[in-house]
Amino acid sequence: MEKKWWHQSVVYQVYPRSFQDTNGDGIGDLQGVISRLDYLSYLGIDTIWLSPVYESPNDDNGYDISDYQAIMAEFGTMADMEQLISEAKKRGIKIIMDLVVNHTSDEHIWFVEARKNKDNPYRDYYIWRDPLNDDVPNQLRSIFSGSAWQLDEATGQYYLHLYSKKQPDLNWENEKVRQEIHQMMNFWIDKGIGGFRMDVIDTIGKLPDQGITNNGPKLHEYLQEMNQATFGDKDLMTVGETWGATTEIAKLYSDPKRNELSMIFQFEHVGLDQQKGKDKWDLQPLSISELKKVLSKWQTSLGEEGWNSLFWNNHDLPRIISRWGNDQKYREESGKMFAILLHMMKGTPYIYQGEEIGMTNYPISDLSEVEDIESINMYHERLAAGYSKEEILRSINAKGRDNARTPMQWDNSENAGFTTGTPWLHVNPNHQEINVENALKNKESIFYTYKKLIDLRKKNDSIVWGEYQLVHDTPEEVFAYLRLAANEKWLVVGNISDKTQKFTVPNGDFSLVVTNYPQETVPKGEIVLRPYEAFVLHADNK
């Protein structure tokens, strides 16, 4: 496989609304991101995925775009955006823009025009259907609860929205739509960005009449066309968000020979704590053997025909320490353990803001504390369906997206150094203890484990390219694997539990490279792993 810069990269996701406010309106902004570039550069990342900063009425916090070529006023101006790109570049950091083209906002000029009348030239930019027996065209459901069809009273037709009513789906079968999107992408490429993260890209080939949303028949055709019309001949990185991808599907997207995307986000591991065939809100305990199985499958299946992204967190997912670790007694240990397990795998690692200091979920006790449209809609739907308030809140506390969206914790001041105003979403009270300032002061903090792992990857090609091999015959809770290269190997071990576990270190002349417990000697032979203990050993392969 031809080596590209993004094979070696570590990406940091910024959710701008919650990262750093500089003008006191309680909402993060682009100047805020600029002001923290030195921090990110010190951490060692070389790519930022910036969640949407385009003009938007914020029904879904910027994932509902009303103008792709303008910046949301709350975040700043186009000049700020250009400054961010150039300031990042000075530090060797590329900016990946979020490309949200499955849908627009209903306030986008295309939709404003489209809904005027059936003959409007923009009508066909969206997906319209006549009522069926005075009702919705079919039973397709929106991911944000309720029907995916909304009646437009004025014209008497329904439009499709896989997300909120204010996020009408674009009609990708319309060539003009595709061309507009390509032009818009080129506008951003010309500004010097490093690539695109493509929002729910697996749904652009949908066939709504047949109830097909993901992986529609023309999906890959559209992506190849997009590749040719925009980034294909540039050295850019692209990552597609694809909820339904299997390893075989992942190859369709990311096999370099097919000229589509650099890589995708697959979500198989993320779904392991939800009941099969049900919603993300229907909780079940994580099976660690399943987690090992799924991640190992992804590690070994793509080979030369694809590339993995590696992540535990993003702005849609609960914080990993609260989710599968221990955010109380073993917050530091479990945070470092997850970092070690992920960053030593093959693929491009992603860090979600605050993950590097071990931020945790923020449990709520009432709906009035929730900002996220997905949680709010689900609450009303389930309440009407007879679920108890307690049960619904349990689901929101476990899986709600606000968990990841509370403001970044920079210091222990009143609003965690995020804003001097009133933050748009509550700051986690644990910022008194968990914050960047404290993390930087303490050489044993989670931050320095991330920094070290990033540095290791930069300096060792074998972490990027080495073969992955699961170590079998361990207790269920122990996740151990090898990374093998021609002349060296890495052994990575993590105890995903708050109990001690037995483990046998294979023979080899290992040295200790990373660990999450104070430890000077190299683990050898039969050992007892402490709660959430994790380490990395290295050996030359003679």
Q: Which is nearer to ligand NOJ, 30 or 200 (CB)?
A: 200
Shortest distance, position 208 Cβ to ligand NOJ, whole Å: 16
Q: Which is nearer to ligand NOJ, 82 or 381 (CB)?
A: 381
Name the residue among 419, 313, 296 with its Cα closest to residue 361: 313
Rounded Cα gap, residues 56 and 164, in angstroms:
14
Rounded Cα gap, residues 29 and 77, in angstroms:
10
Shortest distance, position 167 Cβ to ligand NOJ, whole Å: 7
Tokens describing residue 524: 């050898």
Q: Which is nearer to ligand NOJ, 13 or 495 (CB)?
A: 13
Site for ligand NOJ in 203-242 (CB under 6 A): 241
Shortest distance, position 101 Cβ to ligand NOJ, whole Å: 10
> In DSSP terms, which residues pair with 478 in a beta bridge?
495
DSSP string, 162-229: SS-TTSPBB-TTSHHHHHHHHHHHHHHHHTT--EEEETTGGGTT-BGGGTB-SS-TTHHHHHHHHHHH
Q: Token match 């590690």: residue?
A: 299
Rounded Cα gap, residues 515 and 537, in angstroms:
9
| 54 is a contact residue toward ligand NOJ (CB under 6 A) | no
By CB neighbour count within 10 A (0-12 exposed, 13-18 middle, 19+ buried), where does 464 fall?
middle
Contact 28, 21 (CB under 8 A): yes
Residue at shortest CB range from ligand NOJ? 63
Angle between helices 219-229 and 175-190 (to 10 degrees): 40
| 60 is a contact residue toward ligand NOJ (CB under 6 A) | yes
Rounded Cα gap, residues 18 and 407, in angstroms:
4
Shortest distance, position 20 Cβ to ligand NOJ, whole Å: 20
| 59 is a contact residue toward ligand NOJ (CB under 6 A) | no
Shortest distance, position 91 Cβ to ligand NOJ, whole Å: 26
Q: Which is nearer to ligand NOJ, 313 or 460 (CB)?
A: 313
| 370 is a contact residue toward ligand NOJ (CB under 6 A) | no
Shortest distance, position 100 Cβ to ligand NOJ, whole Å: 5
Among 29, 199, 260, 477, indicate the residue that binds ligand NOJ (CB under 6 A): 199
> In DSSP terms, which residues pair with 133 in a beta bridge?
none
Shortest distance, position 331 Cβ to ligand NOJ, whole Å: 26
Contact 319, 403 (CB under 8 A): yes
> In DSSP terms, which residues pair with 310 in a beta bridge?
349
Q: Are strands 534-540 and 511-515 parallel, antiparallel or unpaired?
A: antiparallel
Q: Which is nearer to ligand NOJ, 62 or 194 (CB)?
A: 62
One symbol per residue from 115 to 154: x for binding ligand NOJ (CB under 6 A), - otherwise; what is it?
----------------------------------------
Name the residue among 175, 70, 168, 171 with its Cα closest to residue 111: 168
Local structure of 66: helix, strand or coil: coil
Among 11, 34, 71, 100, indicate the residue that binds ligand NOJ (CB under 6 A): 100
How long, in residues, is the chain? 542
Q: Which is nearer to ligand NOJ, 185 or 200 (CB)?
A: 200
Q: Which is nearer to ligand NOJ, 106 or 241 (CB)?
A: 241
Q: Which is nearer to ligand NOJ, 202 or 333 (CB)?
A: 202
Q: Token match 């204010």: residue?
A: 166
One symbol per residue from 240 to 259: x for binding ligand NOJ (CB under 6 A), - otherwise; what is it?
-x------------------
Among 29, 55, 273, 316, indicate the residue that binds ligand NOJ (CB under 6 A): 316
Q: Which is nearer to ligand NOJ, 28 or 494 (CB)?
A: 28
Site for ligand NOJ in 337-366 (CB under 6 A): none
Site for ligand NOJ in 467-526 (CB under 6 A): none
Among 200, 342, 378, 491, indicate the residue that binds ligand NOJ (CB under 6 A): 200
Among 15, 163, 312, 481, indicate the residue that binds ligand NOJ (CB under 6 A): 163
Shortest distance, position 144 Cβ to ligand NOJ, whole Å: 8
Rounded Cα gap, residues 55 and 64, in angstroms:
9
What is the separation of C-alpha 87 from the centre of its chain, rounded to a whole number of angstroms? 24
Shortest distance, position 161 Cβ to ligand NOJ, whole Å: 10
Rounded Cα gap, residues 405 and 58, in angstroms:
14
Rounded Cα gap, residues 360 and 517, in angstroms:
21
Size of the site for ligand NOJ (CB under 6 A): 9
Name the residue among 344, 309, 302, 316 with its Cα closest to residue 471: 344
Among 15, 63, 122, 324, indicate the residue that binds ligand NOJ (CB under 6 A): 63
Query: What residues are labeled active site?
Result: 199, 241
Local structure of 262: helix, strand or coil: coil
Tell me which residues touch ligand NOJ (CB under 6 A).
Answer: 60, 63, 100, 163, 199-200, 241, 315-316
